[in-house]
Chains A and B, each alone.
Chain A
Amino acid sequence: MGTYAFDYNRRKSCATIRLKKRGLEVVCREDVFLKMVKNSLPTSPFEKKGNVVLLLLLPSLILIFGLLIYPLIYSFYISLLDFNLTRPGVAPFIGLNNYVRALSDDLFLSSFLRTIYFSVVTVCTEIVLGVAIALLLKQKFRGRGIVRGLAILPWALPTVVNGIMWKWIYNANYGALNALLFNLGLISEYQVWLGEPMRALHLVMLANIWKETPVGVLMILATLEGIPEELYEASRVDGANTWQRFRYITLPLIKPMIGILFLIKIIWAVREFDLIYIVTRGGPGGGTTVLSYLAYLNSFKFFKMGYGSAIAYFLIALVMVIGIPYIIAITRSQGGLFE
Chain B
Amino acid sequence: MTVALNKKLVGFFLYFAVGLLVVVILAPYLWLFISSISTKKDLTSVPLRWFPSKPTFENYSRLLLGGTGATDAASQFGRCALNSLIVASAVTLISVFFGSLSAYCLARIDFKGRNILSLTIILPQLLPPIALIIPLYLIVRKLGLLDTRPALIMTYISFILPLVIWLMIGHFRSIPTDIEEAARIDGCSRIGALFRVVLPLVAPGIAATFIFAFIIAWNEFFYALIFSSTQSSKTLSVLVEEFSSKFGEDYVLMSTAGVLASLPPVVLALIFQKYIVQGLTAGSVKG
Q: Is the CB of A338 within 8 A of B114?
A: yes
Which residues on the A side are within 8 Å of B268 (C-beta)?
156
Of the listed stretches A19-27, A97-105, A265-273, chain B binds A265-273
Q: Is the CB of A156 within 8 A of B270?
A: yes
Interface size on B, residues (CB 8 A): 108
Flag whether A215 is at the interface (Cβ < 8 A). yes
Which residues on the B side are within 8 Å of A6 (C-beta)?
181
Q: Is the CB of B241 within 8 A of A278?
A: yes
> Within the assembled complex, what's the spacing in Å between the Cα atoms of A313 and B139?
18
Of the listed stretches B61-69, B71-79, B120-128, B199-207, chain A binds B120-128
With A14-B185, A164-B244, A337-B118: A330-B25 Cβ-Cβ less than 8 Å: no
Which residues on the A side are within 8 Å of B162 (C-beta)?
64, 68
With A57-B102, A153-B25, A169-B28: A71-B135 Cβ-Cβ less than 8 Å: yes
With A174-B46, A319-B128: A78-B101 Cβ-Cβ less than 8 Å: no
Determine the residue in chain B with the shortest Cβ distance to A327: B122
Q: Is the CB of B265 within 8 A of A158?
A: yes
Q: Is the CB of B139 within 8 A of A74?
A: yes
Which residues on the A side are within 8 Å of B231 (C-beta)?
none
Interchain Cβ contacts within 8 Å, total number? 314
Q: Is the CB of A71 within 8 A of B277?
A: no
Determine the residue in chain A with the shortest Cβ distance to B286: A268
Q: Is the CB of A219 within 8 A of B169?
A: no
Q: Is the CB of B189 within 8 A of A46?
A: yes
Contacting residue for B128 out of A2, A67, A270, A277, CB 8 A? A270
Determine the residue in chain A with the shortest Cβ distance to B226: A300
Q: Is the CB of B46 within 8 A of A190?
A: yes
Which residues on the B side are within 8 Å of A193 (C-beta)?
none
Q: Is the CB of B258 within 8 A of A156?
A: no
Which residues on the A side are within 8 Å of B114 (C-beta)?
338
Determine the residue in chain A with the shortest Cβ distance to B43: A174
**Size bracket, chain A contacts:** 35 or more
Flag whether B17 is at the interface (Cβ < 8 A). yes
With A46-B191, A57-B105, A67-B158: A167-B270 Cβ-Cβ less than 8 Å: no
Q: Digitize B219-236: 1 where CB-to-A-CB distance is under 8 Å, 0 elsewhere.
A: 101100110000000001
Contacting residue for A176 out of B48, B121, B221, CB 8 A? B48
> Within the assembled complex, what's the spacing in Å between the Cα atoms of A330 and B121?
13
> Within the assembled complex, what's the spacing in Å between the Cα atoms of A206 and B117?
37
With A3-B108, A4-B108, A337-B115: A316-B127 Cβ-Cβ less than 8 Å: yes
Contacting A at CB under 8 A, from B102-158, are: 102, 104-111, 114-115, 117-139, 154-155, 157-158
> Within the assembled complex, what's the spacing in Å between the Cα atoms of A299 and B218?
25
Q: Is the CB of A78 within 8 A of B181?
A: no
Contacting B at CB under 8 A, from A228-285, are: 260-261, 264, 267-268, 270-271, 273-274, 277-278
Which residues on the B side are within 8 Å of A150 (C-beta)?
22, 25-26
> Within the assembled complex, what's the spacing in Å between the Cα atoms of A214 and B120?
28
Flag whether B273 is at the interface (Cβ < 8 A). yes
Flag whether A44 is at the interface (Cβ < 8 A). yes
Flag whether B246 is at the interface (Cβ < 8 A). no
Which residues on the B side are within 8 Å of A323 (C-beta)?
126
> Within the assembled complex, what's the spacing in Å between the Cα atoms of A4 and B241?
49
**15 A-B contacts, Cβ less than 8 Å apart?**
A3-B108, A3-B110, A42-B189, A46-B191, A67-B136, A67-B161, A68-B123, A74-B139, A158-B261, A159-B237, A163-B244, A165-B31, A179-B50, A278-B221, A338-B169
